[in-house]
């Protein structure tokens, strides 16, 4: 195997055509892995158009701009999705870093699993899976969907109980408390039955407000956990 010389390394960094081609060849495996799902998604949209004749533009337009809605429509929901994404990204990235450190497999799996759960919940929130897709098209009641999510999270908590016990688990407890209140209102309270403060419609501020607090607590927990767990490993690598 040919050993790279300093000139070869510098050639990859040159801002010219040869340097770009060398970089492209080096990055081709990771580019293929990242671009392939995107290309498959675009191909699936074309297939949906050919089968259902749903206009392709429907999948790409911005709803607020298309329907001339105020810019603040859905802002709380969008903020929640961003927080889910932050938790998922930080956890998955931290898990990948931990896998590269000796004797950190437990931490790595903890972060990767938490990132996958965060991704699952983010997709559910983003595409209204439990409200629209699963219940209306697969005819599975929301209660069963929430139960399935609960089982997944419970297995996660049991599997990594020692890791969680050695962290700032109070934030995780707060997240579950806020989620429980939000889910309880969603499942058992009718909109017309939830009026507070002399006629003020309090359902959304309670259901969605506590949901946002839960997502915030969840994201904060995993961001802090990644920072506290990975910072010493990064410092050790510098020594």
Supply the pLDDT for residue 187: 79
> What pLDDT was estimated at residue 171?
97
User: Mapping DSSP to helix (H, G, I), strand (E, B) and coil, where does residue 134 land?
Assistant: helix
Instruction: Please give the pLDDT value at position 206.
Output: 86
- List average pLDDT for each run of 10 residues in the chain, which is 239 residues long: 53 69 91 95 95 92 88 94 97 94 91 98 92 83 90 97 96 97 83 59 83 98 96 77
- Tell the burial category of 98 from Cβ atoms under 10 Å away from its Cβ (0-12, 13-18, 19+): buried
Cβ neighbours of residue 168 closer than 8 Å, sequence gap 6 or more? 221, 224, 225, 228
| pLDDT (0 to 100) of residue 193 | 58
pLDDT at residue 2 in the model: 53
What six digits make up the tokens of 62?
A: 């911005």
Q: pLDDT value at position 78?
A: 95
Q: Identify any residues that bridge with 196 across adjacent strands, giving them in sequence order.
A: 200
pLDDT of 22 reads 87
Q: Which helix (H) or strand (E) holds 196?
A: strand 195-196
pTM of the model as a whole: 0.86
pLDDT of residue 158: 97
């Amino acid at each position: 195997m040919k050993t790279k010389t300093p000139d070869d390394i510098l050639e990859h960094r040159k801002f010219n055509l040869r340097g770009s081609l060398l970089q492209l060849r080096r990055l081709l495996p990771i580019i293929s892995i990242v671009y392939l799902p995107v290309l498959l998604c675009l191909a699936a949209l074309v297939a949906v158009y050919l089968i259902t004749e749903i206009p392709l533009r429907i999948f790409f337009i911005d709803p607020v701009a298309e329907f001339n809605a105020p810019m603040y429509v859905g802002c709380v929901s969008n903020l929640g999705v961003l927080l889910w994404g932050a938790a998922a990204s930080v956890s998955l990235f931290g898990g990948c870093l931990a896998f590269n450190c000796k004797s950190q497999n437990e931490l790595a799996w903890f972060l990767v699993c938490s990132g996958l759960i965060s991704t699952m919940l983010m997709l559910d929130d983003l595409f209204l899976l439990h409200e629209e897709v699963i219940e209306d098209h697969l005819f599975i009641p929301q209660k069963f969907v929430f139960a399935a999510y609960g089982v997944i999270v419970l297995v996660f908590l049991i599997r990594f109980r020692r890791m969680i016990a050695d962290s700032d688990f109070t934030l995780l407890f707060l997240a579950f408390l806020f989620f429980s209140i939000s889910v309880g209102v969603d499942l058992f309270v009718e909109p017309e039955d939830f009026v507070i403060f002399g006629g003020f419609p309090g359902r959304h501020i309670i259901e969605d407000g506590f949901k946002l607090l839960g997502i915030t607590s969840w994201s904060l927990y995993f961001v802090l956990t990644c920072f506290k767990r990975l910072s010493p490993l990064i410092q050790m690598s510098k020594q």
